[in-house]
Amino acid sequence: MDDQLDQLLHQLTDVEKIQQQTHEYVQDLPDDTIDTSNDEYIHLNNRHFFRNKDIYVSKHNRYAKYPLHTHQFLELNYMYSGHCVQHIDGKEVTLNTGDVVLLNKGSSHSLEALGDDDILINILFRNKSIHLDLLDKLYDSDSVLFNFLMNTTTRNQTEPLFILFKKHGNSDVTHIIDTVLSEYFFSRKFSNQIISSYLPILLITLVRDYQSEIINKSKQRLNDPVMLTVLKDIEKGYATVSLQSVAKELNYNRYYLSNLIKKKTGSTFTELLNQQKLLQAQLLITSTKLPISQIIRQVGFSNKNYFYSKYQEKYGHLPTETRKSK
């Protein structure tokens, strides 16, 4: 254990100082991050967490209950020390030191108050951080995590999932997460790249080292090599790939494949393709100085107005505003 990291995580935050005295929840997120229009729970949007980054790490504030909330990104909770009780989609879940719970987008959860030595770490990441090469490796292992991540990547869940990973004996997971935390809280050159590289290592190590328990009301599996091929072709060849080229590769009728994709993923081929193109466009906009017009061509959009319309629909603003907020 890193003594410097341990000292930092146990140190009281400003919010914790208040909650320690009042035992009442203090809101510590910007107002534009929170939607309270739903009386049942708080909805957290992506605005605050993923500005120019794909992974967001924080320590959960202690000494007060955290209200029921939901969000449209993946969340990994790691019990650094102590224990906590969460209520996830109506089910009570207890985490002890070293345990991990992975929550799907759309899951709703609340937390009981944490004590002095109860250090809970939140690691948030977006779907585009899950690459299909990783899914392919997990598919080969026939793991429950493959099904969880495949569903997260390809379809809208009607019944959200979460996976609880219980620690048993020694595991590399603790070392990996501690390394991610050190890189995040004591940022150095290339820290962001190191953290992003550790994400697939962490997920694969969870499958290998931990006993996992999947909580899935529908018990539905999606071990589908055809859909995996379609998605991999889209991810790798988004600028030029077409439904016809994928159908030819699979020796499928184009119209049959189109219907199959819609049935399996809940989205059309064009919707999946546009999603990948927009993700790549957003990455280029935030990480390069290429002209927007060049980026549009590079990711495979032939109609500039169509691109702007789809980009605003997905991100809530125009590409120029994305670049200004870098």
Strand order in the sheet with 211-215: 55-59, 119-125, 74-81, 100-103, 162-166, 211-215
C-alpha–C-alpha distance, residues 265 and 234, integer Å: 14
* pLDDT tens track for 211-270: 555 444 333 444 578 887 888 888 888 999 999 999 999 999 999 999 998 888 778 999
63-76: per-residue pLDDT in tens?
999 999 887 778 89
pTM over 0.85? The answer is: no
Give per-residue pLDDT as tens, 126-146.
Answer: 765 565 555 555 554 444 555
212's CB contacts (< 8 A; 6+ apart) are: 143, 144, 145, 163, 164, 165, 166, 206
Q: For the chain, how many residues are written? A: 326
